[in-house]
């Protein structure tokens, strides 16, 4: 995998390449951005580039070191990820890495510790990592990632160069889905709804038929369709209803403000345009906020049937008065 194989993140890649060329790589980076956009791939690519044996452009993807780092099998690459039922990074995981990076690199230029999910560090693990970031070994670099920057210990973030990673473009997500074996038509429908995240797109694919059915209901007759079909009853099904309703309202608001080219539900573009002409943008936003509150109540163990019924009422109130 070369820099060109990492989709998106052009500004971040240029910053990293410039620092490599100048020989001014900081002791620690923190790649921050939404889940599923390639932060870990960026970190691993930088780890490989820092240790590439080429005298020219790095990484070369041809030397032994590049190949080992690409397989995540180099003895000087230390990858730490959340684990266990709590999905946290524990102090023993961090201590093990700290003990190793205090030694000389095995056969690379630098030892590289990739902490994938810095927001999942326990307090003890974070404090242990902080100590080594305050006085980092000369032969080691730390690459951290997070999708929740606000949950990272401020004293850790202050000792890292923060690189903010933006969501991928819909074409990039679509292309990556196709590379994973998703058919072109489905990938083209799913990608705009994924918010620039391949992980979100994969999760959408797992329940794509359900989401399509909900979208068809939102696009259908405003009242009759809602009472002819039963509402979802399980917590997950109701959550999907709320997510799809919110995404649909987002499209209505976007079309009303900027036109149909920015809509995510491309399969229902004509219906969305027709609905947007009859529904005020401010009311779309207000209803979307109310649905977000219902989603939060669902997470607090509110009755799913009651939540689904309230969501239906809010939707019918919006379209019934348009």
Q: What is the pLDDT of residues 248-262, one digit of tens each?
A: 999 999 998 878 888
pTM, whole model, 2 decimals?
A: 0.88
Taking only Cα atoms into account, the Rg of the chain, rounded to an integer number of angstroms, comes to 24
The span from the CA of 99 to the CA of 296, in Å, is 42
Residue-wise pLDDT tens digits, 130-172: 999 999 998 999 999 999 999 999 999 999 999 999 999 999 9
Q: What pLDDT does residue 220 have?
A: 79
CATH classification of the domain holding 23 = 3.40.50.300
| Residues 157 and 30: beta-carbon distance below 8 Å | yes
Residue-wise pLDDT tens digits, 40-74: 999 999 999 999 998 888 899 999 999 999 999 99
Within a domain: 108: yes
Class of residue 64 by CB neighbours under 10 A (exposed 0-12, middle 13-18, buried 19+): exposed
> Do residue 216 and residue 85 come from a single domain?
no
Summary mean pLDDT of the chain: 91
Within a domain: 29: yes
Q: What pLDDT does residue 256 have?
A: 80
> Do residue 300 and residue 211 come from a single domain?
yes
> Do residue 59 and residue 153 come from a single domain?
yes
- Tokens in use for 187? 């990938």
Among candidate residues 164, 199, 219, the one where a domain is terminated = 164
> Do residue 22 and residue 147 come from a single domain?
yes
DSSP state of 141: E
| Residues 112 and 51: beta-carbon distance below 8 Å | yes
Within a domain: 42: yes
- Tokens in use for 39? 């932060």
Within a domain: 301: yes
Q: What pLDDT does residue 1 have?
A: 54
Within a domain: 80: yes
Cα torsion 243, 198, 113, 91: sign: positive
> Do residue 145 and residue 270 come from a single domain?
no
Q: Which domain holds residue 33?
A: 3-164
How many domains are there within the chain? 2
Q: Where are the alpha helices (DSSP H) in the chain?
A: 10-22, 39-51, 64-70, 91-101, 123-134, 154-157, 170-179, 184-190, 198-206, 208-219, 224-228, 235-258, 269-278, 281-299, 304-320
CA 318 to chain centre: 31
Give SS3 for 315: helix
Average of per-residue pLDDT across 297-316: 90
Tokens 């000087």 locate to 76
CATH classification of the domain holding 309 = 1.20.272
Among candidate residues 164, 191, 225, the one where a domain is terminated = 164
Within a domain: 120: yes
């Amino acid at each position: 995998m070369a820099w060109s194989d990492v989709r998106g993140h052009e500004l971040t890649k240029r910053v990293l390449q410039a620092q490599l060329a100048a020989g001014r790589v900081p002791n620690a980076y923190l790649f921050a951005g939404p889940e599923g956009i390639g932060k870990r791939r960026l970190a691993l690519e930088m780890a490989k580039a820092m240790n590439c044996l080429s005298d020219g452009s790095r990484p070369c993807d041809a030397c032994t070191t590049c190949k080992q780092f690409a397989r995540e099998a180099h003895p000087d690459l230390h990858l730490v990820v959340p684990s266990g039922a709590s999905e946290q990074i524990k102090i023993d995981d961090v201590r093990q890495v700290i003990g190793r990076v205090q030694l000389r690199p095995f056969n690379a230029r630098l030892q590289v510790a990739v902490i994938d999910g810095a927001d999942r560090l326990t307090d003890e693990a974070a404090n242990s990592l902080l100590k080594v970031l305050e006085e980092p070994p000369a032969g080691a670099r730390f690459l951290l990632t997070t999708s929740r920057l606000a949950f990272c210990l401020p004293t850790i973030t202050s000792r890292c160069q923060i690189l903010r990673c933006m969501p991928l473009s819909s074409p990039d997500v679509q292309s990556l889905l196709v590379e994973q074996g998703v058919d072109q038509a489905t990938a083209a429908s799913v990608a705009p709804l994924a918010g620039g995240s391949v992980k979100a797109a994969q999760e959408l694919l797992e329940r794509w038929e359900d989401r399509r059915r909900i979208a068809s209901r939102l696009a259908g007759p405003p009242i009759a369709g809602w009472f002819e079909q039963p509402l979802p009853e399980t917590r997950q099904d109701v959550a999907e209803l709320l997510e799809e309703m919110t995404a649909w309202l987002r499209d209505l608001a976007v079309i009303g403000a900027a036109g149909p080219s920015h809509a995510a539900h491309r399969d229902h573009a004509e219906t969305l345009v027709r609905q947007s002409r009859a529904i005020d943008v401010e009311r779309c936003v207000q209803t979307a906020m109310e649905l977000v509150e219902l989603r939060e109540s669902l997470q607090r163990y509110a009755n799913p049937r009651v939540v689904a019924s309230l969501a239906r009422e809010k939707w019918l109130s919006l379209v019934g008065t348009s």
